[in-house]
Each structure stands twice: as structure tokens, then as C-alpha cells.
Amino acid sequence: MDSPKEKPAHPTYRPAHPTTQPAVSSSEAPGLIDQLTHEDVDRARDRWRVTRARLRERRSKLFGWLPLFWLLIGPGVLVFLGENDAPSMLSYSATGARFGVGFFIPFIVLTFVMGYVVQEMTVRLGAVTHRGHAELIFDRFGRFWGLFAMGDLILGNFLTLVTEFIGVRAGLSFFGIRPGIAVGGALVLVLVVITTGRYWTWERITLGLAIFNALFIPAAILAHPDWSAVGHALLTWTPLPGGNHYEILVLILSDIGATVTPWMLFFQQSAAVDKGMQPRDIRAGRFDTLLGASLASVFAIATVLATVPLFHHGIDASQFQTAEFAQALEPWIGHTGAALFALGIFEAGIVAAIAISTSSAYAFGEVLQTGHSLNRSLREAWPFYIVLLGSAGAAAALVLIPNVSLEFIVLTVNVIAVLAMPPALVFLLLLVNDRELMGEHVNGKWANIAGVTVTVLLICAGITFGIATVFPKWMGG
């Protein structure tokens, strides 16, 4: 429902891209026109298209919502399919190969429910304040906590970027492509996508790449899963499997880290701002986020099912690299299925590399108050693009170091993401409960209950992991 109050009454509120401007005289107009940037013009064009689509929606009784939906969809789908990245898909692969169908199928669904709870809050925060997550943390909590959040994000993002290019290298190695060519070609593709100078173009290209996360579905079908067992697992939630408790705990944390990570907060909020979303778009943003979480959960479960044959045939996959997963699966799902699996890992790495490097650049630009929009040209926002391109390039270079253990790194990165998430969630909850900042869009009772529950669960998981690491005998490790 449209809100009559588009702007919260906060003294430091600075709408980045207001929808209306005060009237100006003709003598003032030339000066204002000279101040317009590429970003201003492109975003105004995008908002005008949304306004026209909204008017058509009101006039049409059947499918009138489709054009508006097409224009507003994007950040929510991208953030979840971007989080279905190379380390995440490897984590799901290790889960299916080690434990088959059972406890982890409904657990993965639960992690995406947690992800939706968190990301819905970022949609509202971006649409109402028109400001990125990093900028709000600096403004509301001061320089110390702002730098703390930035350090948390940048370190985690860079480690994750390294794993994305490792996934790209390993996925394409299934087809005999040499590491230098695979990583170099992937880096060129990332650079082409992020230097279009247009948010809309960047978003559509990345969405087109992200939909290939669905390659895991035919791979799962070729594995001939026991659908009754899948249904039973979803409905009954079987107990935790037996075995090494420490290994199970690491997989639990890794699967959580495959769904809920700090970069997602920074990325989706900044993308919503770059897209020009307004409070009236919050409902569409929620649907976009729900769609992204639903698609990503289906693709994640498909990845588990594709690797279940390794579990049934007692194949030890504990030391597998991504390409080795595809090679090991070939006797059971055929060359086509194995090729789809390897291509899916490649796609997961590419899309995540684009999204994660963009989230780092958004945060950097917000904090330094320089241009930080994909609607800006290289000349207008060169610091933004240097961070974006530099982080991707450095990560790609590190991947070419020989003898890198993919599974150890990716599981570790996912675990680090879980441990880093509680502080990020505390900042988020404080921001969305700030009535001066959020106005009528402040968190409600049930949103707070859900958000606090997710935070407590992550804190408990982190504490359990810490205890298990210090006292491995207690966990059977």
C-alpha cells in the first residue's frame, strides 16, 4: 500500500535520490542541470518506468502486475542466488555425499527461512532511508563501530572471493580447461558485467547468469533420488546422523554460512538504493526476496540430492575438490549430469564474484562518501570501480597458487561467515528498530521476535563451535 509519508523525521536523514524536487526558477534551472550526474539521469529514467508500470497495474485487471514486477525484481533474487556460491554449493555437496537424505534437507530449508527474515529487514532499511548499510552504521554508531563493521565485511568478502575463483577454476577443470585460462576468462567476464555504467544493465545480465544455478536440478534428477525419502525427511525431520560430532557441527555451521552472511546485508540494501526503491516498493521487495530464497533453497536441495549417490555407494568425499565431485558422480549420473554439476559450480562462482565484489565497493564508497553507484561512469566514480575491480583481480590472482585445498578453505570461510554474522545482525536490528530513522516502517513485534531468534541461534552455534574447537574430545573430534 502506498505510504503518504516517504521520509522519516530524522535530523541526519539525507535522501540520496528524492522523488520530488522543490520548484525552481528558470534562471536556476541551467545550474541545476549542470549538476546532474549520469547516476541521477539513469535513476530518474528507471523510476519513471516504474511509475508508468504502476499506473498500468491499477488500470488492468489481469496480469497488470507483471510489468511492475519485472521492473522491481532483482536485489532479492540476486542476493540469494549470489549466496548459492561455489563454497555454498560445495558445502551442500559435502553434506549430501556424507549424510544423504535426512536431517540436512529440512535444515537447509530452515537456513533459507532465517535468510529471508534477515534480508527482509534490509529491504525496508534501504527503501525507507535511501542509504547503504555501511553509511548508516557510521552515521548512527560512530567511527569505531563503523570501522569494525567494515573490517568484518572486507575481510570476509575477500576470503569468499578467493573461494569463488577457486570454484571457477575447479569447475572448468572438469572440461580440461587450464587454470590460467579459466580464472582469467572468468575475471574478464566479471569486469565486463560490472563496467556497463548502468545499474539496470548490470542487474539484468547478472540475473541472466544467476538463473543457471538451476543446472543442479537436472543433475539431481539424473541421480534418481528417492522422492519418498525426500518427502519423509521434509515432513518428519529425522534426528542428527551418527558419526563424528565435530564434523557434523562443521557441516551445520557451513550450511548456515552458505545462506546467512554479512555481505548479503550490505549488498541488498545498497542495491535497493541503487535501484531507487521507495517505501511504496517494500511489498514488491519482500516478494523479490521471498522468490530469491525459495529458488535458492530448491537449487541447494538439488545439489544435495545430486551427490547422494556417493553416500549410497560408500564413497569417501571428505577430501574432494569441486571437479572431483563431478568426476566421482559421473558413473552414477552420467557424463551429462556430471558436466551440468561442474557448470553449476562455475556459474555459482561467477555470479557470487560479481555480487560480492560489488558489495565491497558499495560499502567503501558509502563510508568515504564518494560515488558508489553502478549508474556512474568510471570517470565519475573511479574509487568505487577500483575497489570493485581490484578485489576481484587480487582474489583471482591468489587462486592460481598451486595445491590449494578447496574444501578446507570453503568450509572454513562459511564457518567464519557464521561467526561474523551476530554483530552484523545486532547493528541491523538496532537500525530497523530506530523509529526516527524508519518511521512507520519500523520493525514490528513478530519481525523482532524472528530477528532476535535468528541472532540467538547464530550466537549459540558460534559458542558451540568454539567449545568444540577448544575441547574436541567433548564432541568426539
Q: What is the 3-state secondary structure (H, E, C) of 53-65?
A: HHHHHHHCCCCCH
Comparing 295 with 457, the larger pLDDT belongs to 295
Question: How confident is the model over 200-236, as pLDDT tens digits?
Answer: 889 999 999 999 999 999 999 999 999 998 998 888 8
User: What domains appear along the chain, each with residue ranges and CATH number?
Assistant: 73-475 (1.20.1740.10)
The reported pLDDT for the residue numbered 411 is 61
Stretch 326-348: mean pLDDT, rounded?
91
Question: How confident is the model over 346-378, as pLDDT tens digits?
Answer: 999 999 999 998 988 888 888 877 777 888 877
pTM: predicted TM-score of the whole model, two decimal places: 0.85
pLDDT at 445 over 80: yes
Angle at 139 between CA 138 and CA 143, to 5 degrees: 40
Stretch 305-326: mean pLDDT, rounded?
75
The reported pLDDT for the residue numbered 407 is 56
Closest CA to 310 of 328, 337, 327, 323: 328
Comparing 372 with 279, the larger pLDDT belongs to 279
Percent residues over pLDDT 70 in the chain: 84
pLDDT at 31 over 60: no
Long-range interactions of 316-322: CB distance < 8 A, separation 24+: 317/93, 317/94, 317/97, 317/98, 318/94, 318/98, 318/407, 319/407, 320/93, 320/94, 320/97, 320/407, 321/170, 321/405, 321/406, 321/407, 322/86, 322/90, 322/93, 322/166, 322/167, 322/170, 322/171, 322/406
Query: Residue 477 has what DSSP assignment?
Result: -
pLDDT at 280 over 70: yes
pLDDT-based confidence at 311, cuts 50/70/90? confident
Stretch 273-291: mean pLDDT, rounded?
92
pLDDT at 24 over 50: no
Q: Which residue reads 568454539 in cell numbers?
A: 466
The reported pLDDT for the residue numbered 406 is 54
pLDDT-based confidence at 451, cuts 50/70/90? very high
pLDDT-based confidence at 173, cuts 50/70/90? confident
Q: Which residue reads 555501511 in cell numbers?
A: 134
Alpha carbon of residue 119 to chain centroid: 9
Question: How confident is the model over 79-133, as pLDDT tens digits?
Answer: 999 989 888 888 898 888 888 888 899 999 999 999 999 999 999 999 999 988 8
Residues shown for the chain = 477
